Amino acid sequence: ILPIIYVITPTFTRLVQKAELVRLSQTLMHVPSLHWIVVEDAATKTSLVTELLKQSGLQYTHLNVETPKDFKLKEGDPNWLKPRGVEQRNLALQWLRDNRELSDEGVVYFADDDNTYSLQLFQEMRFTKRVSVWPVGLVGGMRFERPLVENGKVTGFYTAWKPNRPFPMDMAGFAISLQLLLANPTAHFHLEAERGYLESSLLETLVSIEELEPKADQCRKVLIWHTRTEKPKMKQEEALQKQGLGSDI
């Protein structure tokens, strides 16, 4: 039997949320032996996410935790100002620690709701021993960032932005074995991590660079893209609503 892939997705209410979650859920429907952990950045669970999960037919866990006010982005803030999805991912890690055992085989992947995932990526990560890594497309001001591999070992990183970070990688560029996470019960993402250091704050306590397992053809294939969805403009709809001509379905 296949080790289970635990996909952890933080998500929050905004106009494009349903579109993002429909796309991601319909990708995940093609992946066998998968458990989706969706964590809403909200004080209570929304019916939108509740219904979407129910109807998906996926195996899932639905959680929620609100980002503390001081760490929350405000309308109009550039989105790099604060880390996003941190408390949500940590809650999912806690859920795994509370509900899974060291003898359970699995792999944990952090999949933001707006990225684009090739199905092949899930095959690549399935048999992760400790931490596996691969390139991420459209990120860091480059067509892709990638771990550099020599003789089957990661020796460094092709990245231009803050290259001296301990693990200069995007959240979407690695997966962690469930056993490694359970064996390190305090490993978590640091809410106060400096910009760009969130991934490092978790990985530093779990692996060294030499231990990383390069996947996706020795990190020469891009199977995940850090796509971002444009915020839609509602100018016309607001004008109609002002005239009392708005519509709801």
Q: Return residues touching ligand UDP (CB under 6 A).
A: 9-12, 41, 67, 73, 79, 84-85, 88, 112-114, 228
**25 vs 179, beta carbon nearer ligand UDP:** 25
Which residue in the shown chain puts its C-beta closest to ligand UDP?
A: 85
How far CA 204 is from CA of 51, 144, 166, 173, 238, in Å, comes to: 37, 23, 7, 15, 48
Rounded to an integer, what distance in angstroms lies between the CA atom of residue 199 and that of residue 52? 29
**231 vs 235, beta carbon nearer ligand UDP:** 231
Q: Are 136 and 144 in contact (CB under 8 A)?
A: yes
112 is a contact residue toward Mn ion (CB under 5 A): yes
Which residue in the shown chain puts its C-beta closest to Mn ion?
A: 114
In the complex, least distance from residue 91 CB atom to ligand UDP, rounded to whole angstroms: 11
In the complex, least distance from residue 191 CB atom to ligand UDP, rounded to whole angstroms: 12
In the complex, least distance from residue 114 CB atom to Mn ion, rounded to whole angstroms: 4
Task: Cite the active site residues.
Answer: 199
In the complex, least distance from residue 115 CB atom to Mn ion, rounded to whole angstroms: 6
40 is a contact residue toward Mn ion (CB under 5 A): no
**113 vs 213, beta carbon nearer Mn ion:** 113
113 is a contact residue toward Mn ion (CB under 5 A): no
Rounded to an integer, what distance in angstroms lies between the CA atom of residue 15 and that of residue 21? 12
Binding Mn ion (rule: CB under 5 A), the pick from 40, 41, 87, 114 is 114
Q: Residue 186: which of ligand UDP, Mn ion, none does it interact with, CB under 5 to 8 A by kind?
A: none
Compute how many other C-beta atoms are within 10 angstroms of the C-beta atom of residue 208: 13
**140 vs 214, beta carbon nearer ligand UDP:** 140
41 is a contact residue toward Mn ion (CB under 5 A): no
Q: Are 187 and 181 in contact (CB under 8 A)?
A: yes
